[in-house]
C-alpha cells in the first residue's frame, strides 16, 4: 500500500481540501502505520504546546556576541598570518635560486662586495637603458599608434589593474568585512 501522499498530509503544515481530508481519514482507518504516525504526531504537538518556554540565562546575548567577536578576531588574525606566511614562502622561493647562484660565485668577502656592486651597477644600467627606450617609444608613440587606441589600451590596463586589486582586497579581507557587519 502506498503511504506517500498521506504521510505528507499528516506531517504537512498546509491546509487540506475536503477531498484530501476525507481520503486521509479513510486511509487512517485502513492503515495502522499511518494512524500510529498521526497519533504520535498529535501527542508530540500537544506536549510541545504544553511545555513551558525556557528563557536563556541572564547575559546570554552578551556572552554570545563576545564569543562571536572573539571568533571573528581569531579568524581575521589567522587569515592575516596565513597571507603573510604565503608571501614569505613565495619570496623565499623566488630568492633561493639567486642566493644559490650568488653564493657559488663568492669565495671571499672582497669578491662578494665586488659582485654586489657589479649587480647594483647592472641593475642601474638596465634601468637607464629601459628608461631611454621607454622615452623613445613614448615620444614616437603618436606616429606608431593612433591616440584613440593608446587611450583605449591604457583604460583597459587601468581596468584590469583595478579588477586585480579588487579581487586581492576581497580575498585578503573577506573575513574582516564579514565579521564587522555583525
User: What are the boundaries of each domain within the chain?
Assistant: 4-50, 60-180
Q: Please report the sign of the dihedral spanned by the C-alpha atoms of residue 87, residue 88, residue 93, residue 95.
A: positive
Q: What is the pLDDT of residues 28-62, one digit of tens each?
A: 888 888 888 889 988 988 998 888 888 888 899 99
Confidence category of residue 105, pLDDT binned at 50, 70, 90: low
Q: Model pTM?
A: 0.33
Three-state SS at 136? helix
pLDDT in the model for residue 181: 47
Instruction: Name the residue with higher pLDDT: 172 or 21.
Output: 21
Q: What is the pLDDT of residues 128-177, one digit of tens each?
A: 999 999 888 888 877 877 878 888 989 999 999 999 998 888 777 665 55
Confidence category of residue 182, pLDDT binned at 50, 70, 90: very low
Cβ atoms 10, 33 nearer than 8 A: no
Question: Which residues 6+ apart lie within 8 Å of 72 measured at CB?
Answer: 175, 176, 178, 179, 180, 182
* Joined grid coordinates for residue 69: 567577536
Find where cell 503511504 sits. 3
Cβ atoms 135, 127 nearer than 8 A: no
Amino acid at each position: 500500500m502506498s503511504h506517500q501522499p498521506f504521510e505528507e498530509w499528516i506531517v504537512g503544515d498546509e491546509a487540506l481540501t475536503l477531498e484530501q481530508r476525507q481520503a486521509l481519514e479513510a486511509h487512517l482507518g485502513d492503515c495502522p502505520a499511518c494512524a500510529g504516525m498521526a497519533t504520535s504526531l498529535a501527542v508530540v504537538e500537544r506536549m510541545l504546546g504544553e511545555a513551558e518556554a525556557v528563557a536563556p540565562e541572564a547575559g546570554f546575548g552578551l556572552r554570545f556576541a563576545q564569543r562571536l567577536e572573539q571568533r571573528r578576531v581569531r579568524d581575521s588574525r589567522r587569515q592575516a598570518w596565513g597571507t603573510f606566511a604565503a608571501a614569505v614562502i613565495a619570496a623565499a622561493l623566488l630568492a633561493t635560486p639567486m642566493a644559490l647562484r650568488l653564493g657559488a660565485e663568492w669565495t671571499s668577502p672582497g669578491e662578494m662586495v665586488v659582485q654586489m656592486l657589479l649587480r647594483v651597477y647592472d641593475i642601474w644600467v638596465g634601468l637607464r637603458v629601459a628608461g631611454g627606450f621607454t622615452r623613445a617609444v613614448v615620444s614616437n608613440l603618436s606616429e606608431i599608434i593612433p591616440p584613440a587606441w593608446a587611450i583605449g589600451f591604457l583604460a583597459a590596463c587601468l581596468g584590469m589593474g583595478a579588477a586585480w586589486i579588487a579581487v586581492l582586497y576581497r580575498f585578503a579581507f573577506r573575513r574582516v568585512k564579514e565579521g564587522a557587519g555583525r
